[in-house]
Structure 1
């Protein structure tokens, strides 16, 4: 297992070197709330970290930021303190379970969309310091079609869409893919189907979205994987401990581990520097001005 993990680490670092970047920016989003997006983000980040990578979660869910709640942590500082120049980027980086690093959004993202050009430049300068510090930055965005969520998706260009087998979740997942596609920015989408009862249900759900996207958008949506419905997830949420930490041998935890292995092995679909911190920030600044 250790040899396999080392091989995966070498692979991703080789991919990063080829793209002349050391940090990959990934947004995680969903068409609607309640599909387990933040829970997925947290445990996916932990799975990547368990495989030897440095990961930072940026809680970008405006108004409903809850990565800290899932870990039972009350962060001392958040994005607000950075934007007010009260703290540096390094001072607002918090540490959670198993040493996972995260930045709490708090009310900061409401201020972010109203910053002056000078303040935006300061924000970009601070966040750019994270480049090379970690292998991955995962932005846990808000659910749905808010302008803020769309900006994060378009800027990052590498996005994981989380859905469930419920018809409304499938419809809303497709809606967000369609909206981003209409903005005419190339985005590397990958699909995760959460809370499946069996593999067939997951496959059918993913195929529905992929087929419609291919037919009407001429867009290929690869499937990253499935996460099984697991009563241990709710137990972990109540205990405010990530389910992959509280129940490492549960069906959901094993699913997340397989997803992480597949994600690392396959690499990004967009072979360029488009996912780098510098490129991400540049696009974010243009979209916000």
Structure 2
């Protein structure tokens, strides 16, 4: 009887949590590959989780999905199994490092572009089940502005653009912001500068992008923070353990904590309520049809 009572209390608490939780949808992208976007996404999610938030990571990097690889966790199921109705949304959610929940991409996202109306409705229904399930759902997209990446950027509440101080990376990061803006869409962008030698280089890189965006696009793009070029990161990748867990006292781990705290600080003080999963789905379905 005691176990049943505890189980019932857990179910009631879960229902209450979902009824009051506002799920915020975030897209993480980059102008070019090789800037550490997926590594950032993973450790950013873990840092949010460490602050007490429930986080779900969607690996939406078509063809190069690697969130599971970075954690050393083999992905049994992915979005493809959902689209083919072989599994439900709950059955494709897997647990990785520190219990972080994630959905592997596989080839499923490519199939989103070829869904029938019936399949679209099923997909929408299943993703809609996540409303209130997590505080943050983070989509790790592919690099560059592919059609799929654009859809996630436009449907999400905000997009974090990861770049490095390299001139080509800066140019490509600005290009993706310019392209989205030139299409007439209002998107909330934020910057993260990865692999900086020091805070000064990070600020200078961010200022270059922010200044040009303000001057030519009339956009204000805040910077969440910088991540130092830290040997601990590559060591963690080889170990297939997130660097914030493998080397919690490293400079990069401290940087990622500062970034997540800055993000949460803005989230808490924002007077704009989260639009949630339903709004995300409505936008996504309009883009897909």
The TM-score, its normalising length taken from structure 1, stands at 0.91
Partners of 1:112 and 1:97 lie apart in 2 by 28
* Deviation readout 1:124-172 (Å, 9 max, x if unpaired): 1101111111100000001001111011001103000000000000000
Structure 1 regions of 5+ residues with no counterpart?
A: 1-16
Change (3 A) 1:268 1:204: farther
| 2:65 matched residue in structure 1 | 65
Partners of 2:94 and 2:57 lie apart in 1 by 10
Q: How does 1:125-204 map to 2 (within 5 A)?
A: 125-204=125-204
* Deviation readout 1:162-213 (Å, 9 max, x if unpaired): 0000000000000000011112121110000001100110000000000000
| 2:4 matched residue in structure 1 | none
Partners of 1:193 and 1:245 lie apart in 2 by 21
**Secondary structure of 2:133's match?**
coil
Superposed displacement of residue 112, structure 1 = 1.1
Partners of 1:129 and 1:271 lie apart in 2 by 26
| 2:236 matched residue in structure 1 | 236
Partners of 1:274 and 1:78 lie apart in 2 by 27
**Secondary structure of 2:115's match?**
coil
Superposed displacement of residue 271, structure 1 = 5.0
**Secondary structure of 1:267's match?**
helix
Change (3 A) 1:178 1:268: farther
On the 8 A contact 1:21/1:273 being kept in 2, the answer is no
Partners of 2:153 and 2:253 lie apart in 1 by 26
Partners of 2:272 and 2:153 lie apart in 1 by 16
| 1:120 matched residue in structure 2 | 120
Change (3 A) 1:66 1:269: farther
On the 8 A contact 1:26/1:158 being kept in 2, the answer is yes
Change (3 A) 1:111 1:273: farther
| 1:51 matched residue in structure 2 | 51
Superposed displacement of residue 33, structure 1 = 0.2
Superposed displacement of residue 253, structure 1 = 0.4
| 1:76 matched residue in structure 2 | 76
Structure 2 regions of 5+ residues with no counterpart?
A: 1-16
1:256 aligns with 2:264: no
| 1:24 matched residue in structure 2 | 24
Superposed displacement of residue 21, structure 1 = 6.2
On the 8 A contact 1:79/1:107 being kept in 2, the answer is yes
On the 8 A contact 2:22/2:274 being kept in 1, the answer is no
* Max Rg structure: 2
1:266 aligns with 2:285: no
The TM-score, its normalising length taken from structure 2, stands at 0.91
* Deviation readout 1:20-75 (Å, 9 max, x if unpaired): 86100000000000000000000000000001000000000011100001011111
Partners of 1:195 and 1:73 lie apart in 2 by 25
